[in-house]
Amino acid sequence: MKKLLFISNISNSVGSFAVASIEAAKRCGFKFYYASNWDAATEEQMAADEKKYGVKLFHMDLDRSPYSTKNIKAYKQLVDFIKKENIDYIHCNTPVGGLLGRLAGEKCHVKKVMYQAHGFHFFDGAPKKNWIIYYPIEKWLAKKTDVIVTINNEDFERARTFKLRNSGHVYYVPGVGMDLSQYNIPDTVREIKRNELNLKETDFALISMGDLIDRKNYKIAIEVVAKLNNPNVHYFICGKGPEEVDLKKLAENLGVKEQVHFLGYRNDIKELLKAADTFLFTSKQEGLARSLMEAMASKIPCVVSRIRGNTELICNGVSGFLCINEDEYISSLEKLIESSNLREQFVEKSYENLKNFSIEKVEDCMFDIYSKEFIKNDI
């Protein structure tokens, strides 16, 4: 039985990030190994996931920062594991996992190495330093890579300009796969959750999810809430991060402390989305945002930044609003607050488009790639 090693960064469970690849590998008859930093997972969780998904989990002391010396140890752990298990193929993900996976793959003479880019750090409009640092590194790593998979079209076109090992191939896959059935939340949940959030029937709830970091650009979202000057608008932020104190101070200074609610890390995102009226997403950079797809799956209208990835999920004025500045966010939200018909139109159109990013579609794509690259070319 051929052995496939799937590599990511930091994991607390086997989640949606890997499921489509696991199922595709099973269809190919591969044994699936999942390497990650599992410090956030309990032994019981790991054992349960191994049994549930039929995989083997391997811990490495990887750090999310590419500059951390811990990654030297993680690299050595990977090399030892690959040699011990006689791994045939590597499917590595994320910047650090992609770096270590490709270096270890070359060191161990793995038959084929695939890298799945979830959003290059160099992109149209990216800071110059991103291009100076990350672009040449990715071009260099491409020479150690047999297959590159991208999840948005901008990255796909750029990856096609790289010279891959053995004249390798570049593919586009629509994300990591959304299980739309998980978002069929009963309508009764909306009233229950809104009561928990102390929302009145006349209140209009905005919601965002993600780490409280500069890239997510919550600052502009809070400023937009203030400039709407509508006491019935409430904005719920799900997540934690280093900017939390400054963002709370900003909300207080702008006089919207009672309208901006920091909910921290939540396990009830699906229910919170059901309670919300609009998803507000002001991020500066994404590959293909899962949080946006979750909102679309939850059938709420979306007002999002006009960036790579978002433009593939939302058609401006048809299935949502794509915004560049504060004025556009404000006018877009005002239109949605005033028109339930527009909200319904956006929900219908965006959900129809989201079906193209379903887990079934992605699993089929990964199966085709695994079959072509790891089976047919290995005969």
Q: Where are the domains of the chain?
A: 3-177+358-378, 181-356
Q: Do domains 3-177+358-378 and 181-356 have the same CATH topology?
A: yes
In tens, the pLDDT along 221-252 reads: 999 999 999 999 999 999 999 999 999 999 99
Structure confidence at residue 121 (pLDDT): 93
Structure confidence at residue 295 (pLDDT): 98
Which band of pLDDT confidence, cut at 50, 70 and 90, is reported for residue 378? Answer: low
Q: Which helix (H) or strand (E) holds 57?
A: strand 56-59
| Residue the block writes with tokens 């991208």 | 150
Q: What is the pTM of this model?
A: 0.91
Decide if pLDDT at 22 tops 90. Answer: yes
Q: Express as a percent the part of the chain with pLDDT over 90.
A: 95
Average pLDDT of span 8-35:
95
Structure confidence at residue 15 (pLDDT): 85
In tens, the pLDDT along 83-102 reads: 999 999 999 999 999 999 99
Decide if pLDDT at 379 tops 60. Answer: no
| Residue the block writes with tokens 């965002």 | 208
Contact indicator for 123, 155 with CB cutoff of 8 Å: yes
Q: Which CATH architecture has domain 181-356?
A: 3-Layer(aba) Sandwich (3.40)
Bin 86: left if φ > 0, else alpha if -120 < ψ < 50, else beta: left
Average pLDDT of span 74-91:
98
Q: Which CATH architecture has domain 3-177+358-378?
A: 3-Layer(aba) Sandwich (3.40)
Average pLDDT of span 125-151:
96
In tens, the pLDDT along 330-361 reads: 999 999 999 999 999 999 999 999 999 999 99
Which band of pLDDT confidence, cut at 50, 70 and 90, is reported for residue 204? Answer: very high
Decide if pLDDT at 153 tops 70. Answer: yes
Average of per-residue pLDDT values in the chain: 96
Structure confidence at residue 134 (pLDDT): 95
Burial of 278 (C-beta count, 10 Å sphere; 0-12/13-18/19+): buried
Calpha distance 247→134 (Å, rounded): 29
Residues β-bridged to residue 262: 237
